[in-house]
A and B are shown apart, each in its own frame.
Chain A
Amino acid sequence: MFVASELNQHNQKTERLFHFLFALMTILLILPVAVILGVLVVKGGSAISLEFLFTSPSNGMTEGGIFPALIGTIWLVAVALLFSVPLGIAAAVYLSEYANDNWLTRLINLAIINLAGVPSIVHALFGVGAFVLFFQFGTSILAASLTLGIMTLPVVIVASRESMQAVPYVFREACWNMGATRWQTIRRVVLPNSISGILTGVILEVSRTTGETAPIMFTGAAFFLPYLPQGIFDQTMAMSLHLFVISTQVPGVPENLPYGVALVLVVMVLLMNSLSIAFRTYLRNKKKW
């Protein structure tokens, strides 16, 4: 009774094979992250110190710290978000709550998807043409941040729209039946219940924007500046470009310096991602339906 037949044995063999294969693939996915972090810590860990974080580069960028680049990256990301988050959420609200399904909406959706697929170097050239030259912002934080902002827009829009669409339709119906306008419904029911998803999208974009190099190198980020930016029309140093510069453009940089910069950059991004996950979990536990 209940003895494995030949077919059973064969099935179990296949089962074990696939189990193993899928597990292997997953491990292969995690491996690069672990290796990258490991290498950075081993090779760059010795460069990290408070002095490294809070002083300027010195001696032709072969010594000293990364303070102007760190501050510059914060400037660039902050200004980019000030631009792209309100615009992106507004567009998402329109697409999710107001727009009818017609050719125009479909065209807009197509445009958003395509915008997400444009290579960053193309965004950079667009930024030079539009913001640096046409609007005459010059190479400045403003021009660079607007370029970054346009790059981040599609993700902000898509993440926001999807999290608004995830708010059950019955809530909207209930509101409309009580005589609520669309905007009242959005403000009192849709946005409060989709904010966790929207913020997750935004924070993920923060981490991506932090690492972008191409869009800022022609539009606002400088090779080296001895001072900190004073406003949005100044140029600035940035972590990502600084890493590129000291790894490829400057002779005589000690090996642990670029690895140190990379380590700080990666840790910044990972911190923001963890923050985003923690935040999302917190907000998710708060809402129930």
Chain B
Amino acid sequence: MNHEFSIESRQFNLWYGDFQALFDIDIGIRQGIITALIGPSGCGKTTLLRSVNRINERLGYVRTEGLMKVMQKNILDSDVELAQLRKQVGMVFQRPNPLPLSIRDNILFAHKLHTQSHEKLSRQDENNLVENVLRQVLLWDSVKERLHQKAIDLSLEEQQKLCIARLLPVKPSILLMDEPCSALDPKGTEAVEELLWELRGQYTILIVTHNMAQARRVSDESIFMLMGKLMEHAPTDQMFVTPACKETADYIEGRYG
């Protein structure tokens, strides 16, 4: 096993009932870089993303086979505690989904979930934590005056940044992003992409995107998927200039989508 890999899978297969959505996926995602998952709708990229924190299982009729290692541990093992897994692997959704709480409480939510009552932070420590993560997501200056207002009243861009920020207090090592900019306008998209670069290095980021230009702008490596199979995994520069598969070239050039 290669210890550079934060996420590694071997012969990973996934079925929704009788429908096989992923076929023999072998991936190795290096720690600390941004990897883009690209491919046409229905190719399995979101399914793959959701397999990394096992949130797919909520559906009940999902079956998996193979290995999916997160930080060298096979997360399909029976001794894996999902709460601990999801603490390490944070997820950001297409539509920003801040909880119906204040900005401050949104930030502290995950932290409180994973903290025993006797380890409770003092008010001052909580304030520091909130400021810290809001600074990390480049949101502090615009919201510092209104931490007690509803998070739902923020702009979509700010909401999405908040959704990223609320993952950070529990010190995840991996961030999964499912088309995090698809609900945002170009300015918001640019701001979130800028944020991704800020977070690069500290977190291993796996991002699903439909936007080729975005994949090219933000990612170090890209994975192209088609019909549930991994077609190509290469450094982004290389994939967009000299793709190895014909299918990749066709997709990137927009011949299908």
Contact = CB atoms under 8 A, between A and B. Distances in A.
A189 B98 CA distance: 11
Contact of B83 (A181, A287, A289): A181
Interface in A86-127: 100
Contacts of A175: 99, 109, 113
B100 A173 contact: no
B95 A179 contact: no
Contacts of A170: 93, 95, 97
B152 interface: yes
Q: How large is the interface on A (under 10, 10 to 19, 20 to 34, 35 or more residues)?
A: 20 to 34
Nearest to B60: A100
Contacts of A192: 100
Contacts of A289: 100, 152
A192 B101 CA distance: 10
B87 interface: yes
Given A171-B100, A288-B150, A288-B152, A178 B93 contact: no
Interface in B142-183: 150, 152-153, 163, 166-167, 170
Contact of B84 (A171, A179, A188, A189): A179
B220 to A, nearest CB: 24
Chain A contact residues, majority secondary structure: helix
A170 B99 CA distance: 9
A287 B100 contact: yes
B67 to A, nearest CB: 22
Contacts of B38: none
A178 B86 contact: yes
A177 interface: yes
A184 interface: yes
A171 B99 contact: yes
A180 interface: yes
B100 A176 contact: no
Given A179-B82, A288-B152, A289-B152, A174 B87 contact: no
A173 B97 contact: yes
A288 B150 CA distance: 8
Contacts of A188: 109
A179 B100 contact: no
B93 A179 contact: no
A179 to B, nearest CB: 4
Interface string B115-158: 00000000000000000000000000000000000101100000
Contacts of B84: 179
B110 interface: yes
B180 to A, nearest CB: 13
Given A174-B98, A177-B86, A179-B170, 9 more contacts: A170-B97, A175-B113, A176-B55, A179-B85, A179-B110, A188-B109, A189-B100, A287-B100, A289-B100
17 contacts: A100-B60, A170-B93, A174-B97, A175-B99, A176-B58, A178-B87, A178-B109, A178-B110, A178-B113, A178-B167, A178-B170, A179-B82, A179-B85, A179-B113, A179-B114, A189-B99, A193-B100
Interface of A: 100, 170-171, 173-181, 184, 188-189, 192-193, 287-289
